Structure 1
Amino acid sequence: MAFPGDLPHAMWKQAIEHYYWDRLAEAYEVASTQGAGHAGIYLSWFRMIEAEWLTRRDGQRTPVTEWLDLEFVPDDLGPVPVQDLADVVVASCDEVAQRLGVPHGAKTLVTMLREEARAPWAIAPYGYCVDMHPYEKVCMPVHLLGNGPELRRTTRHEYAHVLTINASGGHAPRWLSEAVSVLMEGGRDRSTEREFYYGSAEWLPLDRLEQAFNALDDRRRVWLAYRQAGLVGEYIASRYGERRLGDLLRAHAEGSFWKRLGAGFLGATHTDVAFRDVVGRSPGQVVADALEWLRSGRR
């Protein structure tokens, strides 16, 4: 991508670096001097930094467990006691760790974003996970406090991303990460399932499925990618067990250097090797198997 001048681009790189180290005051200071950039190319970054900085500025951070801190604005919690919120978040995270057989590891900061961050321009209005330094960060909109089941679902989804990042050493592809997270979140979209069943929604092969998550200008395409990934995750759990998903994630980070190097020479990815070692099938075959499973009525 060509950027309109070197200085704005360099300054935004600095702001983003601050952001990934969770230095929000510094990130916001730099970002606010640059604005959204030419043609708004940095608008999403600016809004995300702004939302997190407003929460940091007005909020407080409370240690909850050895592996979890909670960040929130007290006035935004209303009548909800902090301990009740902490209990829900910890229980949801514990459930994901137990189901996958992946222990809590890296420190995680869960941030309840300020109410003013709830807006149509939000890049991920339902919550998101960021691989930061020196911890992982999960951000969720504070309005979820008014909906206990949705708060639990969102926490499970985003914390599954945390465990995926750490168990796989950051090598798991987006489609697999979403397969795990959508499964952990729970719930069904029967309408979309019927579309896949009858073929009115295309069941994407692996390479196109991975690309579909980046089609931010096509919400339906992104939604279908999430639902397809979730069905693949459900198929793997049904066929091999939920904990085999945890094994698949760990297999991305395991294995000798020479084994990985040899696989690379043959054009195999971490994911190719992990699936072959854990389930004896290629990832592409597993994605195709999931559609056959859906259409067979064995679901």
Structure 2
Amino acid sequence: MKKTTPLNQALYRILRPLARLLLRNGIPYGEFSELVKRAYVEAALKDFDDGRRKPSDSRAAVMTGLTRKEVKRQREFLAGQTLESGAALHANRASRVVSGWVHDAAFQAKGGEPAMLSFDGKLSFSDLVKRYSGDMPPRAVLDELLRVGVVSVDAESGQLVLQQRAYVPTGDSEEMLQIFGDDVSDLIATIDHNLVRDESGQPPLFQRTLTYNNIPPEVMERWRTHAAAQSQALLERLDQWLGPHDRDIARQGPDGEPVDSVRTGVSIFYFEERTDKAEPQP
């Protein structure tokens, strides 16, 4: 029997909650296995070139342990995939609308806070959506932002009020699952970068976790509230610094011409689990 390595142990801890999510959403092992093959092939072909040429199917087969036929099948599938799903596009556009409302001076009140907006007219919510969400119907965007509580309607004026500075879908919706994929992928990429940074010569990326394992249950309600409030405040301060540098908001960069860009950010997530023998509540 193969000896369990620290990486095996870490991988199992990742897969355990992932298996729970997959089973809850009706994804059987065979479908997950197919996705794992695809991810192995894509990583072998894209992340392990020698700087001169891309790895061949034969080399990818050796690296992944798959047959050349299977590598070819997965490569052809990947070549036909679209870069962004409809759910991802919807979530990204809704987020951009909220970000534009927060940072674009045209949609701010005198004090620099997001202004109350009419649905139609000059510098209205419809204008905001047109500027930051392309061809998405303003009514569809508004209905979604109202649904998740990001926007409300002022009872006296009937104008739209931004209640939260971030769009976060709810439940196991397609958009929420897209965020799940982005967040976990970003975390693993950061850890991988920090594990190999000595070889690459690049500086480490910030990665910290605050953890205690003997907290009384009666403290938890206050802790959840405090952690959420402090985390939201920190993210809003970081957003105030970084948001105005985004080309979509600053309206910078030549239209229609490719320019170098970097995707960057900071993720904060809260966690808790029982440390006794009782099963945690779902």
TM-score by shorter chain over 0.5: no
Larger RCO, structure (CA 8 Å, separation 6 or more): 1
The structure with the largest strand share of the pair is 1
Larger radius of gyration: 2
